[in-house]
């Protein structure tokens, strides 16, 4: 029974890892056009927008300004090409401070 579970976990690991590793390995050896490279560089910011935008609108129904200001903070930092983690943490920090004082 334990061997079956271990093999199942190993199989799921491979099925998950291979589709993620292959593009990284193959794209590293390919020469991409500047337009494609620019597109790939924008993906983290697009993902951030998709993750943050629903929360901006639903953070607090009584005080929607809190979510909007947090989202604008993330947008401003992303516009200045700050690292993704900094954008997210700054938006969280702004929302936290606003919750304390509003």
Query: Given a cut of 80, is residue 49 above it in pLDDT?
Result: no
Four-point Cα dihedral 79, 43, 49, 80, nearest 10: -10
Contact 56/71 with Cβ under 8 angstroms? yes
**If phi over 0 gives left and psi between -120 and 50 gives alpha, with beta otherwise, what is residue 81?**
left
Q: pLDDT digit string (tens) for 3-34? A: 999 999 999 999 999 988 888 788 777 888 89
Residue-level pLDDT at 48:
72
Residue-level pLDDT at 20:
84
Residue-level pLDDT at 8:
95
What are the extents of the domains in the chain?
Answer: 1-30, 33-101
Q: pLDDT digit string (tens) for 56-96? A: 888 788 888 998 999 899 889 989 999 989 988 999 999 99
Global pTM?
A: 0.57
């Amino acid at each position: 029974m334990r061997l079956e579970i271990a093999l199942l976990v190993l199989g799921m690991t491979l099925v998950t890892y291979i589709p993620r590793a292959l593009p990284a390995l193959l794209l590293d050896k390919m020469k991409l056009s500047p337009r494609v490279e620019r597109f790939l560089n924008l993906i983290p910011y697009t993902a951030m927008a998709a993750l943050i935008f629903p929360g901006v609108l639903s953070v607090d129904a009584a005080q929607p300004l809190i979510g909007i200001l947090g989202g604008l903070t993330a947008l401003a930092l992303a516009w200045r090409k700050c690292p993704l983690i900094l954008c997210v943490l700054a938006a969280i920090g702004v929302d936290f401070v606003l919750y304390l004082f509003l």
